[in-house]
Chain A
Amino acid sequence: MERIIFYILSIIIVVFAGLSVVNRNIMRSIIYLLFVLLAFAGLYFMMEFNFLGAVQMTVYAGGIIVLYINSIMLVERINSPLDVAKLWRRILAGVISVAGAIMALFAIWSYDFTEVGDESSITIQDVGKSVLNYGEHGYILPFEVISMLLLAAMVGAIVIAKTKKRNAN
């Protein structure tokens, strides 16, 4: 059962990732990206990282996609299709990607992973205690650094996007 669901999710991920990369309508390709992110959240839920799946769904599928859609509607002409690259460039990119994928897959499948079959599930309490802990396996310092980074990014985004009105020229 889990295997079937995993394969369905993987097919959704790969197919919609490919569609979002090649589709010429940018609104459609952002919606395909939304499907990919939701399927990733499904994989996290299947691996019982519930908090991570919830973060993926709220921050990525909820926040970032809405940010993209807003800026696309501000900036882009939605009905005009995107430019495509030249044919030789697409072929070159395809060859590079396929070669890289084959190389990485060869490295992965030839490496002998020793899987540890432990069925201990990780709860949200564990994640919270680990993030706010300053002892061993505690991540309070990166957590604070990330909060400062988010604040700086927010202020920077406001300052950059809010320019003076364009002159009359």
Chain B
Amino acid sequence: MILGVSIYEILTVSTLVFFIGVYGFVTRKNLIAMLMSVELILNSAALNFVVINKYLFPGNLEGAIFSIFIIAVAAAETALALAIIINLYRRVMSLNTDELETMKY
């Protein structure tokens, strides 16, 4: 645990980052920018796992390993989503969510 820092302060930071990500996900209109907000949300969730592991169950490893899995899943998700976005840009020539009305071809 971090010396002199309580669990409440770290959970406050992760909560703020989570809701900043939610705000970005709702307000952004570009697909890549929306995906970046999802990264913020995933990171705050991973920080929650790590903090609760460290402060409430030290000696266990579940939170840290789950965070590693979260990072791996986020990498897979990002690669796949960016592939889909590039493919979509080839068809529609735009990434604006208002102009992406059809996913079929």
Chain A residues proximal to chain B, CB less than 8 Å: 1-3, 6, 10, 13-14, 17-18, 20-22, 26, 29-30, 33, 36-37, 40, 43-44, 46-49, 51-52, 55-56, 59-60, 63-64, 67-68, 71-72, 74-76, 82-85, 89-90, 92-94, 96-98, 100-101, 104-105, 108-109, 113-120, 122, 126-127, 130-131, 137, 139, 142, 146, 149-150, 152-154, 156-158, 160-161, 163, 166
Chain B, interface SS category: helix
Chain B residues proximal to chain A, CB less than 8 Å: 1-13, 15-24, 26-30, 32-33, 35-37, 39-40, 43, 46-47, 50-51, 54-62, 64-65, 67-69, 71-80, 82-87, 89-90, 95-96
Whole-angstrom CA separation of A166 from B87 in the bound complex:
11
For B84, list chain A residues within 8 Å (CB). Answer: 160
For A10, list chain B residues within 8 Å (CB). Answer: 9, 13
